[in-house]
Every structure is written in C-alpha cells, then in structure tokens.
Chain A
Amino acid sequence: MSILAVKDLTIHIGAARPVDGISFDIAAGECFTLLGESGCGKSMTALGIMRLLPAAAQVASGSVSFEGTELLALPESGMRDMRGGGIGMIFQEPATSLNPVLTVGRQIVEALELHGGLQGAAARARAEDLLDQVGIPDPRRRLDEYPFQLSGGLRQRVMIAIALAGAPRLLIADEPTTALDVTIQAQVLDLLDELRRQQGMALLLITHDLGVVARMADRVGVMYAGQLVEEAPRRAFFSQPAHPYSVRLFAALPDAERRGGRLATIPGSVPAADVRHEGCRFAERCCEVMPQCRQAPPPWREVDAMQRVRCFLPGAAPGVAAEVGAGGAAFAAEAKPLLEVADLKVHFPIRRGILRRAVGAVRAVDGMSLQLKPGRTLALVGESGCGKTTAGKAMLQLLRPTAGSVRLDGVELTTRSTSELRPLRAKMQMVFQDPFASLNPRLRIGDIIAEGMQALSVGGGDAAAKVGPLLEQVGLRADMVSRYPHEFSGGQRQRIAIARALAVKPQLLICDEPTSALDVSVQAQILNLLSDLQRELKLAYLFITHNIAVVDYLAHDVAVMYLGRVVERGSADEVLRHPRHPYTQALLAAVPRIDGVGREVVKLAGDMPSPANPPAGCHFHPRCPLADANCQRAYPAETLFGATHAVRCIKAV
C-alpha cells in the first residue's frame, strides 16, 4: 500500500521543464531515494509535492496523492495542515533553514502548536522529548538557545525535530547531509534511519551521493534531466545497474582500485531544462547510443519484477572497464622535498573592548609540519573547521603565518616581504573550491588566464598568445577566450581555474577542495585532468579535501588534520588501510560505502571543539572512544610506525 503516489508530475518554469512527467510510489515506512546530478529536477520534485514551488514555477499536469488525498486539488488551507502534519520536510542547509532570532524551543513549539494542538508547558515538554529523540544532549538547556549557538549537525537535528513535531507519515529530506562533515553525516543518517524504523515513517531522500543511497535506501530512483530513468531496489541497483547513466555514475566514482588509472567520465553535462528532447534524454552523452535513441523517447522496460529502466538497450548496460593506467606518477621518493612546512602556526587574535586588545586567539593552524616531494600528491584531510584551508593559504603566504617556517625549493617564504615573494609566486599556485566564486565575472576568460602571466611577467610578454594552448591543455577550445565565466558550467569553470594556475608554470599546486562543488561525473573529469597534468608536468599537488574516496584515488601521501594539527601522516596505503589514530579510524568508518559493507564502526560523539579554546592534552580526547586520564595531560608526541607513518596518539598501536 503506497503512502505517496506521484503520477506524471510535470513542472514548468516558463519554457523550461525542470520536471517532465515523473511517477513513483512510496510505501509506508519505506525509504525511497531520488538520485541525480544537480539540475536534474530532484529538489523541484520535492517542492512540487509540498506545493512550495517558487512563484515562477507551476505544476502543469500530473497528480500527487498522499494517503489517497489528491494534494494538487487541496485548497491552500488544507495543504497547510498537510505540510508538517502529514508530510515533513528538511532542507540541505541547516544554517539557513532555522530562524536566527527565535530560540530553538520556540521554533519547535510553533510546529507543535500548529500540528499537535499542544500549548504551554505541555508543548515545551514535548519539544524536550523531541530534542532528546533526535539525540541532542541536555535538551532542556538547548531549548532556550538560539540557532547560532548550535553546530551544523545539531542544527540539522533541530530541523529534524521540527519536522517530527507534526508526527508526519512521510519525511522529505532534500540533501540533508550534503552540508555536513562525514562524521556528522553518519550521525544524522543513523538518526533518520532509526526514526524511520521506530515510527514507521516513510522517507523520500534526495541526494547526489551514491554512498548515502547505499546506506539508506530501500528503493532508488535515478533522475536525469527531469525524468526518472531507472527505478530499482537498492540491492539490484548496486549489483546490476541497468541504465547506462547509472553504470557511468558508478564508474565515475574515484576509489583505490582505480588509482593511477583514469576514471570513466560522462562527456558533456546535464542538458538545460528548456531543451526539447526528441528521443532519449541521455542520448547525447551515452556511449551505447543507437539510432533509435534519437528518434523516440524510450519506454519503461522491466528488468525484473522490481527493477525497470528507460532504455532501448536489451539486457543490462555493459559495465565500464576501469582503465588501469601506466601506474601513478610515483616519482623518486628520495628526491629533495619541494615544500617543507615546519611547525606552521596561524592564529587569529580575538579582540575585545574599546581598545581592541587581543584577549585570545583562534588557533586555526597550531603547529603543523609536512613535506611534499616533486611530482607527488599529498592529501590534507579533515573535517570542516580543522584549519586545512587556512593552512593552504598560509603556505602560499596569502595569509601571513603567526609562526613556523614554509620552505619552497629550499627558500624560506615566511620572512620575505610581499615584493620579495612576487618572483616566487610563479612556483606555487592555488585552485579554489568554488568555481563560481573563483573567476571574476567581469573579465573574459582570456584576461583571467593571462592575468598571472602579466603580473609575474611569465611567458615573455605575449601572454594572450599563450592562452589558447593552455585552454586546449585543460580540455577547452582555444576560441573560448573572449567569453565570460557565466557562459560555462561548473566543471568548465574549474578547468579554467586550473588553466589560470598552470599559466605561470608552477611546480606546486594547492588544490582546495577543487571538486566538492561538482557533480560526480564532472568530478571524474577534473580528477582525470589533474592526474594527466601531474604526469605531463611533474606537478606536486597539495590536495585539501574531506572526500576520502578522492584521496584514495589520487593521493600518494596523506596527512590527517584535527583542530589545527596533523594527527596522522603517512603514505596513502598506510593511513587509509591501516589507520592508527582513533580519529582517522572514525573518519574512515563514517564514510558511507557504496558496496554497503560495514566496517568496524567507530562512532564519534559530538562535534569538533572550538579552535579558540582547544581541550587540554590531546585535542581529540573528549570525543575519543579510547581516551583515559593520561590523554588529558599533554599533547601526544609523534610516534613513528615504519619510515613514513607517524601518529600523534599515545594509544596508537
């Protein structure tokens, strides 16, 4: 018996059709995930079900029936009872989905008053129950706190508590953990799963992350360009994906097995929503495309009782053989290090009072040391707020370090003035996280790429002539020089950012989460490009990321950061296969795996403490499952395991 039945839902925004005839059912207590890349209409579908579409969008046709009630025919007042009461919803960004000027308690009680008919003390007691239920410690105190006093994970829990206040039978979660760290993501996913089982609540989970799907889903619907292209139970989907798009999504995922080889990519990007499709929507990007694919849209084809797919291909789509490349660019490990960082510290003073005296400091980076050899990739891994981006910027001297030394090719950088640094800037460059913010929207691509060459007088004056070949080197066309950044997709922009950095012929590239804003298939393109460039140009990468799978695929060496310090470092194999620090172990265990094989789970409680006030002794001890009194005494010294594997933990064995 299905609780929600969506039939042929079509949503128009002007001429665009972000959702174009989508149908699915969700049974009571079931978790159905909508999987797809950005821009394929997942969120629009959820908003269409809730009738919360933006003003420009409207449901053109179709039906949404919830427990037998046709939602699209309900008057607005009836729909208001349904929202929160029948169907709850939580959003991606916990930072903006709570009202910052109301206490948490007030916001939960508001939902309880509306949907539970509770008032006053009874509502407050119930709110406390709810906070307890979503695993917030000390709920009574938290009720009177404001959202800014809570961490991202706690805020998302509060959002879930609010959604639960109306005891909904269906919860729509739109990328609920995308903005959260893996350890927090694991906590929130566990919570959602537990609540679903306890309360028999159905869950419509929208995500782009195959790992989350593997962890949560009963059934999976793959969306592409406004349509479902495949529907399957989780087990079948992960063992035998039927649509070429699904197959490619799996092949594009980076992991250790593909290390040194190339990731399968999906050429191009998701078509714009206002493109009219004659045949199959995926035909343009499909490797198995046949003439008939371009003539008529493929009908649903049953693969078996539960799995169906919109594709003309008989049988399952052929798998994509992982191309094993000529081995990673493991350059002579005994070479002289290119980058040496010793005891780097970046402290931001906290100023108070009229005279703005420094009363303390945020120790964003608090004594980190690492080495990077030419042609190798060092991954700097850690949760958000651990100081990895700050460390990267301090190495480039974009932020002046408080203490410590940074030597590039034997030259000390920290003592040089801005003008003395300029000639050295060509040796080290940075690729930023957000391709939408890292390109000046007012400059043409040619000017953006030529800027560094002109500023550093690289390329002998004729910078403009060098731009074309650079664009081709990163897989774009040379005739794109006179376009503006907004004409490019996210992946193309990141290529432009890489071309800009390469223009000055650097030896070291600091990549600050270069793929975290990109879709899986595009991420694969960028990762391929980065590894090609490393092979060709013998670049050294300092790869700052929180994505363990990317690290596994790309990195030769790994350093794990916690609260401004490196807690474990070593070769990728040593750190990722045989983690010794309990934090590394927990971090690795928290990553949802697509093969669904659970590891020995080390659960982390709570959040990262503030770098303004780090715990005494080992910074990790308040969250550490192994901690005892000894851990609180002093920060542990580095223990070496083998030649390269170093761990800062007294419990490490």
Chain B
Amino acid sequence: MSFQIVLLWSDALLFVLIAAIVGLALWARRQDALRAAWGRVLKDGVAMAAATVLAVFVLIGLLDSLHYRARLEAQPGAAARYAVEVNSALDALLSDLRQRGEKTYSAPLATHLFAKEALENSTQREFPRLKHGGAHLGQDLSGHEFDIALRLSRGLAAALAVWLALVALVSRTRKQEFMAVLRVMRSGIPGDGAGNDPKVVQSKATGAVLVALLAILLLFGVALSLGGGYHVFGTDKVGQDVLYLSLKSIRTGLLIGTLTTLVMLPLAVLLGILAGYVGGWVDDLIQYLYTTLSSIPGVLLIAAAVLMMQVIIDTHPQWFATSAERADARLLALCLILGMTSWTGVARLLRGETLKLRELEFVQAAQAFGVGRFAIMRRHILPNLMHIVLIALVMDFSGLVLAEAVLSYVGVGVDPTTISFGTMINTARMELAREPMVWWSLAAAFSFMFALVLAANLFADAVRDAFDPRSST
C-alpha cells in the first residue's frame, strides 16, 4: 500500500455522527408521523436548496476527514516508512493549491506580489512576479485580462454543461420532458406561487435543488478553471492559497459546530428540564451550578480550561504519533470545553419554559393518570421545547464558529497548525490595519461562513416548521 490510513478521533466521531444520522433517517422512514414531517421538509424548496448547500459543505468536510500518511520512498526490503505529515483526501485533491505557495501576500487573481520588494540584481524596489499565479502567461502580461475572461467563460461553460447533463439525467429518471424539468425550476424559485398540487410541489423542490446546484456548479467551475492558473482568493502572509485555507476551514467549523452542540445540548436539555420540572433542591443545585458557571467571564473560563488541557497535552508528547493527532486532540478538547461552558444559556431558557409548561393542564392531566415523572418530561415537556432547542442549536452553531475565532484571537483556540475560520479571521485582523488593505482572507472566510450559517439557518427553520403540528395544516 502506498499510504497508511490514519483515523483521528475527530474523524471517528464525525463518521459515527454521520452513521447515526443515516440510521435515524432509515428508522424515521418507517415511522408514519416522522416520514410525513420530513416529507414536508423534502417538499420545501428553500429547505432543499439549503440542504444542497449544506450537503456540499458536509461533503468537503468528509473528504477532509479521510486522513492518510503517504509512504516514503525506501529501499526495497526495508520496512515501510510513512511521512510524518498527515494529509486528507481533500489535500490530495487540492495538492495543486496546497503546494503552489507564494512568498507572501498577493491579491486575488494577481500576477505579482502585493508588496514591493528589493529585486535581485537590482536596486529598485518592485512588485515581484508570483511563482505560480499567472505563471503560464510568461513575461507577456498583456494577455492577463483576456486570459481571466477566457478561463471564466470556460469554467462557466463547463459548469453549465455538467448541469445540463444532470438535468437530462433527472428528466430521464423522472420520465419527464427535458424542457419540462427546466420549466419547473422557474416554479422552484421561492416566491413564485404555483398552487399546491403535490406533483407541482414535489417538482418545485427538485427545481430548487437544481437551481442551488447550478449556483454551486458555476462557482465550482469558475474556481476550478481560474484556480488552475491563479490564486482565486489570493494568498496570505506566508503565501498559502486562501481558497485552500477556506476549504480546509470547513471541516474545523463543522466539527466545532456539531461536536460542541452534541456535548452541550444533552446537558442543557436534561438539566434545564430537570430544574424546571422537578424543582426543589434539584432546581436549586442546577441553578447554583449554572449561576456559578455563568458568573465567570466566559472567555476567561474557557481560556483557563484550554490552558490546563494544553499543559496536559504538552507534557505527554508520547500520546501522539503525529502533530496532526495532537492538533486533533486539542480540537476535541476545545469542543468539550466549549460544550461544558456554553450550556447555561439554553438550560436557563429551557428551565423557564418548563416552569410554564409544568403548570399547563395537559401535564396535570398526565399526572392525574399517574404517568411517571420522566415519561411526562419526555412525552409532554420535551416535544413542546423542541422549537427552542432547534433555534438554540442553530444560533449556537453559528455562535460557536465565531467563538472559535475569538478564542484563536486570544491564543487559546485551536492548534496553530489547524486551519480554521477563526485562525483565518485572526490573521486577517492584522492585515486590515495595512494600507492598502489586505481584505481577501477576511472576505473569503466570511463568505464561506455566511453560506454555511445561512444554509443551516434556513434548513433549521424549515425543519422547525415541518415539525410544528400547528403550522402544518
């Protein structure tokens, strides 16, 4: 084998999570009520478009989670040795982007560095040529703009071709006219009320997915075609391609968003409902706990915990075979710490709502039937809190991605070798103070985060609506 598979803890957790989601989906298919609710989500154009975008993010994240160590060339007969560097499938796909580093900053699509330097064999300070950006143009830069336009249109055309092939495939499997599929896309655009005929609704969702795919493919095509010769989002301080950094950040963002939520949510839901429903000393205890936790400034508490954890990691180098494993452990520990410290807000919210629900007559009716405490919490309290949980989940998802940025700024975030939106924004902070301003790494990080968080928000909204019996008549 020319490589050795490396399974980091976070990869394992991510795959378990995906497997759990798939398993839940298969189970939900057999439950009438759940299937009906998810059916409503599947028919919602906006939700499906958002899901498509999310799926692309998840796909990139998953590709980035297939880690391996390349085999080093060695004498025949000698034991196989593997590189210290742990790469992922995404790295392999993007090896061009990864390896074509420049010396330092360069603007998007530029052919020269961003800052003047003293050139070799010259006394003048000039903008040096990039090693890779626009290298195919040679010395003749008059064709620069033409080349960009050409690659742009080539990328767009290729994307369109792929997309049309996809539409043809859909029309084939659906036994619909090709043009008919194109036509339903118009109705798939939100705001275009086209009746509530189930078939139309179904194809509306398909249309929305196709529209979202078209947008994604166009961006992809352009990035691919331009990326072949230029740095699409420019390069950062040490000359790394910003597009590559952004793509690598997706996994970190997804991990911090999901794993932290997984740690936080059970704590928040369990403690919030217990405090609200059981009351008495249980309530007192939980309240003291979260009051104490939230009375310590959040960042400081996290910083203290992270520093402690860092000391443990640093004093036990033997635990980690590679630096990637160490960075991964730090990431997981960060998720755990963030989760343990950020449940208080949601728990307080849920406790208040539970206090209200507890006095409602349907809970008392269940008590009159002798239904057990935990059954009441599960059947009567929890489902009526789900809207809050779902909203909190999405808000926290985006909040956590941002918290990671703040922590990286303080220096207690992810490992410096881990690429994340937080580290990107953190380095961009210095760049914004430059004149002229280096805006592209911040812009790239924000546009990726924006797309991710917006898609998650829209999707969660649709899920919440579909599961609220009152809004689905």
Residue positions of A touching B, CB distance < 8 A: 393, 396, 398, 418, 421-422, 425, 428-430, 432-434, 437-444, 448, 451-452, 455-456, 484-487, 497, 500-501, 504
Contacts and interface: CB of A to CB of B under 8 A. Distances in A.
B69 interface: no
B288 to A, nearest CB: 14
Contacts of A398: 364, 367-368
Given A440-B379, A442-B469, A484-B469, A451 B369 contact: yes
21 contacts: A398-B364, A425-B369, A437-B360, A438-B362, A438-B364, A438-B365, A440-B362, A440-B383, A441-B470, A442-B383, A442-B469, A443-B383, A448-B362, A451-B366, A451-B371, A452-B369, A455-B366, A455-B371, A485-B469, A500-B365, A504-B369
B365 A432 contact: yes
A430 B383 contact: no
A363 B367 CA distance: 23
Contacts of B365: 430, 432, 438, 497, 500-501
B473 interface: yes
> Looking at chain B's contact residues, is the secondary structure mostly helix, strand, loop, or mixed?
helix
B238 to A, nearest CB: 54
Nearest to A452: B369
Contacts of A442: 383-384, 386, 469
Contacts of B361: 432-434, 437-438
B371 A430 contact: no
B370 interface: yes
Contacts of B364: 393, 398, 430, 432, 438
B33 interface: yes
Given A432-B365, A437-B361, A421 B370 contact: yes
B35 interface: no
A487 B440 CA distance: 53
Contacts of B384: 440-442
A486 B469 contact: yes
A455 B380 CA distance: 14
A425 B368 contact: yes
A91 to B, nearest CB: 24
A456 B369 contact: yes
A452 B379 CA distance: 13
Contacts of A439: 362
Top 8 closest pairs, chain A to chain B, by CB: A438-B361, A442-B383, A422-B370, A432-B361, A484-B469, A452-B369, A425-B370, A455-B371
A486 B375 contact: no
Interface of B: 33, 360-362, 364-372, 375, 379-380, 383-384, 386, 469-470, 473
Contacts of B367: 398
A478 to B, nearest CB: 17
A244 B178 CA distance: 60
Nearest to B472: A484
Contacts of A441: 384, 469-470
A443 B380 CA distance: 8
A558 B365 CA distance: 25
Which residue of B371, B372, B380, B384 has the most chain A CB atoms within 10 A of its CB atom? B371
A295 to B, nearest CB: 30
B14 to A, nearest CB: 31
A500 B473 CA distance: 24
Contacts of A455: 366, 369-372, 375
Contacts of B370: 418, 421-422, 425, 455-456
Contacts of B369: 425, 429, 451-452, 455-456, 504
Contacts of B360: 437-438
Contacts of A456: 369-370
Nearest to A504: B369
Contacts of A393: 364
Nearest to A432: B361
Contacts of B368: 396, 398, 425, 428-430
Contacts of A421: 370
A431 to B, nearest CB: 9
A504 B365 CA distance: 12
Contacts of A434: 361
A487 B375 contact: no
Contacts of B362: 437-440, 448
Contacts of B371: 451-452, 455
Which one of B367, B386, B470, B473 has the highest number of Cβ atoms from chain A below 10 Å of its Cβ?
B367
Nearest to A439: B362
Contacts of B33: 444
Given A443-B380, A500-B365, A504-B369, 17 more contacts: A396-B368, A422-B370, A425-B368, A428-B368, A429-B369, A432-B361, A433-B361, A438-B360, A439-B362, A440-B384, A441-B384, A442-B386, A442-B469, A444-B33, A451-B366, A484-B470, A487-B473
A86 to B, nearest CB: 40
A358 B366 CA distance: 30
Contacts of A425: 368-370
Contacts of B469: 441-442, 484-486
A187 B361 CA distance: 31
A437 B360 CA distance: 6
Nearest to B284: A356
Contacts of A430: 364-365, 368
Q: Which of B368, B370, B372, B380 has the most CB of A within 10 A?
A: B368
A429 B370 CA distance: 11
A619 B367 CA distance: 33
A422 B371 CA distance: 8
Contacts of B380: 440, 443
A462 B379 CA distance: 19
Contacts of A437: 360-362
A455 B370 CA distance: 7
Nearest to B375: A455
A123 to B, nearest CB: 40
A388 to B, nearest CB: 15
Nearest to A500: B365
Nearest to A442: B383
Nearest to A487: B473
Nearest to A503: B369
A486 B383 contact: no
A487 B470 CA distance: 8
B378 to A, nearest CB: 11
A228 B14 CA distance: 65
A484 B33 CA distance: 11
A393 B368 CA distance: 9
A494 to B, nearest CB: 11
Nearest to A424: B370
A99 B368 CA distance: 38
Contacts of B375: 455
A439 B386 CA distance: 17
A433 B361 CA distance: 8
A440 B362 CA distance: 6
A430 B364 CA distance: 9
A468 to B, nearest CB: 17
Given A433-B361, A455-B370, A486 B379 contact: no
- Among B365, B372, B384, B473, chain A packs the most CB atoms within 10 A around the CB of B365
B366 A486 contact: no
